[in-house]
Amino acid sequence: MFSDVGPLKLLVVALVGLFFLGVPSLVAHRRRVQHLRWVIVVNVIGAFTGLFWFVALFMAMSMATRQPDRALAPGSQLGL
């Protein structure tokens, strides 16, 4: 069954799989959730079970977000 899978195909499948497993952590990071570490812990520990991947994705999408830094906000003036 897998005898015709070359090393390049295997590498591509592995990279796509790792990216897919990291989606909850990426979503949490982009949303700037308050407890990003908890999302990452749940994602890493339970990523291969499937159930915890959905739990981490739910956490990433439902947790409260942090306030943006005023110094990094668009239009902010530093030094005033």
Q: In which residue ranges of the chain is pLDDT below 70?
A: 1-2, 68-80
| Structural contact between residues 7 and 31, judged by C-beta atoms closer than 8 angstroms | no
| Structural contact between residues 40 and 28, judged by C-beta atoms closer than 8 angstroms | yes
* Nearest to 20, CA basis, from 45, 50, 41: 50
Q: What is the pLDDT of residue 12?
A: 92
Q: What is the pLDDT of residue 33?
A: 94
pTM for this prediction: 0.70
Length of the chain: 80
In the chain, where are the structural domains located? 34-65
Q: What is the pLDDT of residue 70?
A: 61
| Structural contact between residues 23 and 57, judged by C-beta atoms closer than 8 angstroms | yes
